[in-house]
Amino acid sequence: MQAKYQLKNAIGNGSYGRVYEATLNDEPVAAKVLHPTLIHPTTVDKFREECELLQRLNHKNVVKLIQFDISNSSPPVLFTELLACDLREYITNLKPKKIPFPEVVSIILDVANGLDYLHYVCEIIHRDLASKNILLTKTGQAKIADLGLAKFYRGKQGMSASPVPGTPLYAAPETHPKPGTTSPKVEYNEKIDIFSLGVISMEVINSREPKCVPVVFDTDGRRIPENERRKDDIREMGDHRLRGLVLSCIEDNSDKRLNAKEVVEWLQKEKSVIEKKNTIVQRRTPNYPPTLRIICLGNSATGKTCIIKRFKDNCFHDHLRATVGLDVFIKNITLNGKKFSLRIDDTAGQERFSSITSSFLRDVDGVLLVFDVTDSKSFEPGIDSIKKLIDDHLDDWTCKILVGNKVDAGDKREVTRKQAEELAANLGVRYFETSAKTGQNIQTVFEELAKEIYNALDLSDIGTYQQKKPCNGAVLLGQELGQEQTEKFSLGCPFC
Ligand SMILES: Nc1nc2c(ncn2[C@@H]2O[C@H](COP(=O)(O)OP(=O)(O)OP(=O)(O)O)[C@@H](O)[C@H]2O)c(=O)[nH]1
Ligand SMILES: [Mg+2]
């Protein structure tokens, strides 16, 4: 059936045709029309191939085909969903600003997800991945478009196909034929798209069009390494958090490049760090700076409450009542010139806190694993059972420090420093010996844990993260603890 459509303004050039903003049955669409000068059987067949291929795809990060029309009466046309703009255009209009890190991660992750689908679900190589072929929705979701040069490949053995099929600036080194080779084809696989993704990533990070030395081989016919050809872009990235990812995508040897799944995995971790940073900012209340959450875990009477009180108020009590449920303490600290609040959750000793559930541990950024050096049971099995508890409920990256308390107790000591250091090494954490009684190392353990969190999440740019309206719990926390009071909450406290 012939489609009823109306073309409006041209919005881009795709392979084999021009792309227009259009309406199809009064709905806004993008229409790719085969250029009249290209209408002959071979190109029409290619165009049909693209339509049929698009018809089989269904993924949120790949542009959707709506309809196509290859009738004899008018130029072949295919209709896809209409998006806000392409990535190239978006970056150009941004000048001179840079794309913020969370958005960088989100765009590259979307493209990597789309590639993962194309490569491993559909067995398709895009072959022309470039920023002009990444479209963005109004909300910034990225979708892979223009599959005019895409090809099916079977298995992992790759294909023998045309050299540099897509945009040269984004082309992987193996798509360039060696000087003097007579074969019209070169061998490559899906990793050529990963290379292009690496170049696009640099473009997004640097927020400008990529630069690249145009020659691929030196005068002796040797391939110029890509990190040499693209050294300006690499230098401009500096020590960006995604530098390692980008360099792993633009490796000269395609076997050494990450695959789409690995890129997705890498970026998902970055995304969870971003979410964590947003949580830290959102915890901020009118009276407090961004808040890091620390929890003290350990057997009963190991001195958790004393450690916290020494840190908060520089005092020590000989006969403290055992903690019941959860006490919350707040103290402000400065890290690398930035103000943070430490929210320290003091729990009841391990024997009685089997009832501690994920709700206590949810959203925790750092843990002090406390044992008493004069009580071997608090060390073994004490720390072991706490480790099991946190492994079940906390993310891998949550910062932890092992603390041996009561080192002032001299000859009552049952756990040696060596034993504790061995356990810390096994757990992959640092060990500190403290005394809440004398104050030894108390300030240090909190500061070191806070620094670990700062570094793990790279909180240097925390000011650029969004502050959303605090939840009721956070408002309450801000009001009640604004007077620098310690508040106690029952089990199942709703604060987030
Ligand atoms: N000598 C010595 N005694 C300490 C030290 N820290 C705590 N204590 C004593 O150990 C006992 C228990 O201390 P708490 O801080 O209540 O222990 P806790 O781990 O909070 O115990 P729960 O709340 O039951 O989990 C108290 O009598 C403290 O005086 C220390 O560094 N040195
Ligand atoms: Mg206590």
Predicted confidence (pLDDT) per residue in 106-128, tens digit: 999 999 999 999 999 999 999 99
Which residue among 306, 314, 328, 435 is best mutated to probe the pocket of ligand 1, counting the most ligand atoms within 8 A of its Cβ? Answer: 306
Structure tokens that stand for 126 in this block: 């895009």
- Tell me the sheet residues that pair with 33: 18, 77
306 has pLDDT over 60: yes
pLDDT of residue 479: 30
Cβ of 320 below 6 Å from ligand 1 = yes
Cβ(300) to ligand 1 under 6 A? yes
Nearest CA to ligand 1 atom 12: 301
Helices (H), 184-324: 191-206, 226-229, 231-237, 243-249, 260-282, 304-313
255-259, 437-441, 469-473, range with the lowest pLDDT: 469-473
Tell me, using a 6 A CB cutoff, whether residue 436 lines ligand 1.
yes
- Output the CA 331–ligand 1 centroid distance in Å: 20
Q: What is the pLDDT of residue 183?
A: 81
The phi and psi torsions of 482 (rounded to 5 degrees) equal -60, -25
Query: From atom 3 of ligand 1, which residue's Cα is the shortest distance away?
Result: 406
In terms of Cβ atoms closer than 10 Å to its own Cβ (0-12, 13-18, 19+), residue 21 is: middle
Residue 318 Cβ < 6 Å to ligand 1: yes
Mean pLDDT confidence for 235-260: 97
**Ligand number nearest to the C-alpha of 375:** 1
pLDDT of 33 reads: 92
- The residue whose C-alpha atom lies closest to atom 8 belonging to ligand 1 is 303
Structure confidence at residue 50 (pLDDT):
86
Tokens 């291929």 correspond to: 53
> What is the model's pLDDT at position 157?
67
Residue 378 burial by CB count (10 A; 0-12/13-18/19+): exposed, middle or buried?
Answer: buried
Q: Is the distance from the beta carbon of residue 435 to the nearest atom of ligand 1 less than 6 Å?
A: yes
H helix or E strand, kind and range, residue 326: strand 326-335
437 lines ligand 1 (CB under 6 A): yes
**How many angstroms is it from 474 CA to the middle of ligand 1?**
30
Residue 396 in this model has a pLDDT that exceeds 90: no
Q: Which residue has the higher pLDDT, 149 or 449?
A: 449
Cβ of 349 less than 6 Å from ligand 1: yes
Q: Is 324 in the pocket of ligand 1 (CB under 6 A)?
A: no
Average pLDDT over residues 93-97: 82
- What distance in angstroms lies between residue 428's CA and the mean position of ligand 1's atoms? 26
Work out the average pLDDT over 420-443. 97
Structure tokens at 355: 């009832």
Residue 270 pairs with which residues in a beta bridge?
A: none
Annotated binding-site members for ATP? 32
Whether ligand 1 lies within 6 angstroms of the CB of 413 is answered as no
In this prediction, residue 495 carries a pLDDT of 28
- Which residues are CB-neighbours of 41 under 8 A, at least 6 positions away? none
Give the predicted TM-score (pTM) of the model: 0.76
Ligand 1 centre to CA of 294 (Å) is 19
For the cut 80, the answer to whether the pLDDT of residue 197 exceeds it is yes
**Nearest ligand to the C-alpha of residue 370?**
1
Residue 30: Cβ within 10 Å count:
22
Annotated binding site: 32
Give the model confidence (pLDDT) of 331-378 as tens digits: 999 999 999 999 999 988 855 555 665 567 888 999 999 999 999 999
pLDDT band at 85 (very low <50, low <70, confident <90, very high): very high
- Within 8 A by CB and 6+ apart from 37, the residues are none
Q: Residue 371: nearest ligand to its CA?
A: 1
CA dist 149 and 364 (Å) reads 48
- What pLDDT score does 484 carry? 31
Residue range 61-90: average pLDDT?
91
